Structure 1
Amino acid sequence: MDVTVVWRRWLARHDRVRDALPAVPLVVVAVAATAVGESSWHEPRWQEAAWTALSCLPLAVRSRWPLHVALVTLAGGLTLMALVPGIDTPPGATLVALYTLALLGSRRTAWAVGLLAAVALTGVHAGTHGGSPVSGAGLLRFDVAIAATALGRAVRNRRDHLAKARERAERAESMQEEEARRRVAVERVRIARDLHDVVAHHITLVNAQAGVAHHLLRTDPDQAFQALAHIKDNSRAALDELRATVGLLRQPDDAPGARAPIPRLADLDRLADGFRASGLSVEVTRTGAPAPQASATELTAYRIVQEALTNTHKHASATRAAVLLDYGPHSLRVTVTDDGRSDPVKGTSTGAGTGTGHGLIGMRERANAIGGTVTAGPRPEGGFQVVAALPLSLAPASV
């Protein structure tokens, strides 16, 4: 492991040691500065070095009480300058404390204390050395105090900027995950709806045809044989649609070919043939000028017709049903009627408009998903009616 990383982690666990660490170079510099003469080295002035070390003691708690430490070190630095004549270097502990205050404290407090320290250091130096506050030495103390504060604010601003950028990145990632979960939930509902339509339709037909075959097996073997053939065809079609629908779960993406084949309105005649074979007479009529429509509209219309006919055959005891496709300039109107009875107990599309069954709910959900509507209820002359109004073209989804 990198030594630098280990060292930083150790310092993060020992904040008092980390806070006091700048005192070491400050004392070393103070001892070296007092040992330098005009022409040669001499013994350090240990009294001045001791005062410097003493002024650095508050730094051990600078991250906990930055304002108090800044004021205490400023007072100690000014006292050292006043009591020990000949000090020409600015008090290092005060500069470190000003930097810490600017890094951890508020901007107004940091600049107020920084300006106070700059003026006080300049004034005391001018008074103890008999010079002008605007001389080079006086301005040096003013500048270093302001520079320490400015450096602390710059580091603080950079950290705040990085924290905001990290927060935005985390928020964006969270939103992406939430959007992905939402899309998965929508896709699961869509696949579950397709599975419901496929299974309900084909199993209903298979059940009806099996009943016909069972009834005619002894009296009319030829008709029973045809019913069994229809059962075979419907079960194969059910397996094919189930395989295509469940296969969506294995697709790595939503490529255009991943959902093929998709039932279309051109397949309604074949759908009607399946119901006719099971004993329900279905008539499909088209009016208006057929116009190009979105694939989602075709699929929705097909599934609504499929679900309505399935419920009619399963619950309404109907003998005839009619499907009307009326093409308008901007919408497609799908009407499915039958001559059966209404059964509110079932809670299906034959439920006298109760709308409590999964079939009718699924129809409405499909239509609402593409901006259409579905209404259902008993007809005054008898039977039941489902009407769907679907847009031919879909508006782009807003982001």
Structure 2
Amino acid sequence: MSRLTAKWAEVLRIVSWVVACCMFVLNVGLLVNDFHMPPILVLPLAAACSVPIVICRRQPLAAWGLLYVGMLVTASLAAQPALLWPWLAIPSAVYLRALFVLGLRGPRRQSVGIWGLTMLGGLLTVTRGVSEEISGPVILQIVAVLTLIPLVVGDNLRTRRLAQAHAAEQEQISAVERARRELLEERARIAREMHDVVAHHMSVIAVQASSAPTRLGGVSAGAAREFDSIGSAARESLAEMRRLLGVLRSDDDSGPPRAPLPGLGQLDALVETARRAGTPVETAMSGLPAALPGVTELAVYRIVQEALSNVLRHAPGAATRVALTGNGTLLRVVVENDPRPGGGGEPMGAGHGLVGMRERADMLGGELLAGPTPKGGWRVEATVPVVSVEPERNQR
């Protein structure tokens, strides 16, 4: 289709040049025989009234300007201006076409200005006299109507085209918003179903862990603490799932208050949970601002949480270090663990933990790197921008 269009465009260009050449010859004869124009001006005026037919489609304003000047000079300097129509006839038709293209493509104020200049030029030239068969005011009325019609038609078509484009754009935006809303609704439905499935099993784990010392009997104090830690972790997971589900189900901010999302203040409890699970964890914080945006605190907390979960799953019991450092503009989070003593643990799989951590870092304009260490352990390092709003925290 594009080749066919280009071929027809080339044909039209050649035809327009042929017509322009014929018009040039015809205009030369009219300027010499009917308008008795000075010889020195014949060729320039003939060219000015012929070339616009070639450039009218691509440069309508330049075409109009050439025609306006050429026809104005022709009617003003004609030795015998007493004609039925004081302007060249064929260039007048091209002039109307240029007006239509200008109305179709240009702003309305431009069309108004061009029409005003056209009437001014007609007033200046028609006063020099026309044929007695028709009066000057009648000529001006004809000019006013003939030049106003293509401008109005072109402007209306342009307005309609813009309205259709705007309607199509709004329809596209509505379709995108509708698809986005359907996606969010589907995600919320999936989240609710996951909650219904996972909550049942987590509740069973919490109940069995809490009742195990009583049901089994003769359980040592260390084992009882381990069961209690399992039950606490299960109940905490259930609470976080219910908070997330409350956000997904809520259409507005009304309803019962919800607990705040976790942040850096809950890191100690998170680390203590990993320690109770048998993984020694060391923490170090330095250079952190006293207050961070909530979304930054949540992202950092989730990154550390997922990194510690990976340690518990893939290298349980391995010595782990959590370090948070800031320099006023960047916050660096490092979670590094040694190999598990004696080996074991689940092999690294293709889960979504690293993907989720990387998405949280990207959301804040930061980056996340993860990979094995030379000693056989694993290292997660995230760097996110941060704005310090208060004095730094004390070093821990």
Q: 1:362 aligns with which of 356, 362, 368?
A: 356
Whether 1:140 and 2:151 are equivalent positions in the alignment is no
Preserved CA contact (<8 Å) 1:292 1:392: no
- 1:297 to partner: Cα distance: 1.7
1:7-156 matches, cutoff 5 A: 107=101, 132-135=132-135, 140=138, 143-144=141-142, 147=145, 150-151=148-149, 153-156=151-154
Task: Give 1:3's aligned residue.
Answer: none
Distance 1:373 1:250, change over 3 A: same
- CA deviations on 1:47-82 (whole Å, 9 max, x unpaired) are xxxxxxxxxxxxxxxxxxxxxxxxxxxxxxxxxxxx
Whether 1:241 and 2:240 are equivalent positions in the alignment is yes
Distance 1:332 1:239, change over 3 A: same
- 1:144 to partner: Cα distance: 4.2
Preserved CA contact (<8 Å) 1:191 1:245: no
Q: Aligned partners of 2:190 and 2:158: how far apart in 1?
A: 47
- CA deviations on 1:137-167 (whole Å, 9 max, x unpaired) are xx53773475156235414412421331342
Task: Give 1:304's aligned residue.
Answer: 303
Task: Give 2:291's aligned residue.
Answer: 292
Q: Aligned partners of 2:138 and 2:159: how far apart in 1?
A: 31
- 1:345 to partner: Cα distance: 8.2
Distance 1:191 1:346, change over 3 A: farther
Preserved CA contact (<8 Å) 1:312 1:340: no
Gaps (5+ residues) in structure 1?
1-101, 109-114, 116-130, 349-355, 395-399
Preserved CA contact (<8 Å) 1:373 1:389: yes
Task: Give 1:271's aligned residue.
Answer: 270
- 1:285 to partner: Cα distance: 2.2
Task: Give 1:339's aligned residue.
Answer: 338
Structure showing greater relative contact order (alpha-carbon pairs closer than 8 Å, 6 or more residues apart): 2
Q: 1:160 aligns with which of 158, 161, 165?
A: 158
Q: Aligned partners of 2:329 and 2:140: how far apart in 1?
A: 78
Q: How many residues align?
A: 260
- 1:291 to partner: Cα distance: 4.1
**TM-score, length of structure 1 as denominator length:** 0.51
Q: Aligned partners of 2:285 and 2:186: how far apart in 1?
A: 33
Task: Give 1:389's aligned residue.
Answer: 383
Q: Aligned partners of 2:230 and 2:308: how far apart in 1?
A: 18
Distance 1:250 1:148, change over 3 A: farther
Task: Give 2:82's aligned residue.
Answer: none
- CA deviations on 1:188-240 (whole Å, 9 max, x unpaired) are 889999x99xx89x96xx69x969x69x9465254444344333322322222
- CA deviations on 1:362-387 (whole Å, 9 max, x unpaired) are 21121111121222222233422211
**TM-score, length of structure 2 as denominator length:** 0.51
Amino acid at match of 1:297: T
Task: Give 2:37's aligned residue.
Answer: none
Distance 1:149 1:298, change over 3 A: same
Distance 1:233 1:386, change over 3 A: same
Q: Aligned partners of 2:150 and 2:236: how far apart in 1?
A: 74
- 1:273 to partner: Cα distance: 2.1
Preserved CA contact (<8 Å) 1:325 1:332: yes
Preserved CA contact (<8 Å) 2:278 2:317: no
What's the Cα RMSD here?
5.0
Preserved CA contact (<8 Å) 1:290 1:327: yes
Gaps (5+ residues) in structure 2?
1-95, 103-117, 119-130, 389-396
Preserved CA contact (<8 Å) 2:285 2:324: yes
Whether 1:377 and 2:371 are equivalent positions in the alignment is yes
Distance 1:188 1:291, change over 3 A: farther
The residue matched to 1:322 in structure 2 has which SS?
strand
The residue matched to 1:335 in structure 2 has which SS?
strand
Amino acid at match of 2:165: E
Task: Give 2:322's aligned residue.
Answer: 323
Preserved CA contact (<8 Å) 2:292 2:386: yes
Amino acid at match of 2:347: K
Of the two, which has the highest radius of gyration? 1
Q: Aligned partners of 2:356 and 2:370: how far apart in 1?
A: 13
1:206-285 matches, cutoff 5 A: 217=216, 220=219, 222-252=221-251, 261-285=260-284
- 1:312 to partner: Cα distance: 0.7
Distance 1:364 1:188, change over 3 A: farther
Amino acid at match of 2:245: V
- 1:303 to partner: Cα distance: 0.7
